[in-house]
C-alpha cells in the first residue's frame, strides 16, 4: 500500500503541480510587495490619498464601508496590471521572437465551398452537407497550435 502511495507522489505531474504551487505562491508574494510598496505609493503621490478604507456610508443605521471595497478593487487592478505588463507582455514578445523564423505548419483542414464547414484536407466529401469536394475547390485553412 505504501509503495502505491510512493508511486503516486513521485509521478511527474504531481511533482510539477507541487513546484507550480510553490513558485506561484512566491511569485504572488513578489507581485503583492511590488504593488504595495511601489505602485500604491506612486498612485498616492499622484492622487494624494493611498488608503480609501475610511470612506463609508450609513444607511438605516448600517455602516457600509465601501472604501474597503475600493482598496480591494484597486489592489486587484494593480496586481492584474503588474502581472500583465511585467510578465505576460514580455513572455509573449519572447515567444514571438523565438518563433520568428519558423515556417507555418502545413494546413490540416479546408473549407467546404458549399456550407463553409471545416473538413479534413484529405476529405473527398463534406461530412456536413455531403457534397463531393474536388481537390483545389475548397479554400485551405491552418489549424491552430
Same domain, 92 and 144: no
Q: Is 134 left (phi over 0), alpha (psi -120 to 50) or beta?
A: beta
Packing angle of the helix pair 2-10, 12-34 (nearest 10 deg) = 50
**Model pLDDT, residue 136:** 54
**Model pLDDT, residue 144:** 47
Domain extent at residue 118 = 104-145
Instruction: For the beta carbon of residue 35, count every other beta carbon within 10 angstroms.
Output: 21
Same domain, 48 and 81: yes
Same domain, 31 and 73: yes
Give tens-digit pLDDT for 74-106: 888 888 888 899 888 999 999 999 988 888 888
For residue 75, give Cα distances in angstroms to 19, 35, 52, 84. 26, 7, 11, 14
**Model pLDDT, residue 143:** 47
Same domain, 80 and 124: no
CATH number at 40 reads: 1.10.1200.120
Query: Which of these three, 59, 75, 98, is where a domain ends?
Result: 98
Same domain, 124 and 88: no
* Domains of the chain: total: 2
Beta strand extents in the chain (DSSP E only): 57-59, 62-64, 109-111, 118-120, 140-141
Same domain, 70 and 114: no
Residue 142 CB partners (closer than 8 Å, separation 6+): 104, 105, 107, 108
Same domain, 24 and 58: yes
Distance separating alpha carbons of residues 56 and 58, to the nearest angstrom: 7
**Model pLDDT, residue 8:** 77
Same domain, 113 and 85: no
Residue length of the chain: 145
Same domain, 25 and 50: yes
CATH number at 140 reads: 2.20.28
**Model pLDDT, residue 60:** 92
In the predicted model, residues of the chain with pLDDT beneath 70 are 12, 50, 135-145
Same domain, 34 and 85: yes
Amino acid at each position: 500500500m505504501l509503495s502505491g502511495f510512493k508511486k503516486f507522489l513521485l509521478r511527474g505531474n504531481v511533482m510539477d503541480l507541487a513546484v507550480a504551487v510553490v513558485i506561484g505562491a512566491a511569485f504572488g508574494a513578489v507581485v503583492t510587495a511590488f504593488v504595495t510598496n511601489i505602485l500604491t505609493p506612486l498612485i498616492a503621490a499622484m492622487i494624494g490619498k493611498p488608503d480609501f478604507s475610511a470612506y463609508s456610508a450609513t444607511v438605516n443605521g448600517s455602516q457600509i464601508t465601501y472604501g474597503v471595497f475600493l482598496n480591494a478593487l484597486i489592489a486587484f487592478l494593480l496586481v492584474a496590471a503588474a502581472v500583465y505588463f511585467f510578465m505576460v507582455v514580455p513572455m509573449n514578445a519572447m515567444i514571438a521572437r523565438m518563433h520568428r523564423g519558423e515556417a507555418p505548419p502545413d494546413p490540416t483542414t479546408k473549407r467546404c465551398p458549399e456550407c463553409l464547414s471545416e473538413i479534413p484536407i484529405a476529405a473527398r466529401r463534406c461530412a456536413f452537407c455531403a457534397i463531393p469536394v474536388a481537390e483545389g475547390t475548397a479554400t485551405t485553412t491552418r489549424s491552430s497550435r
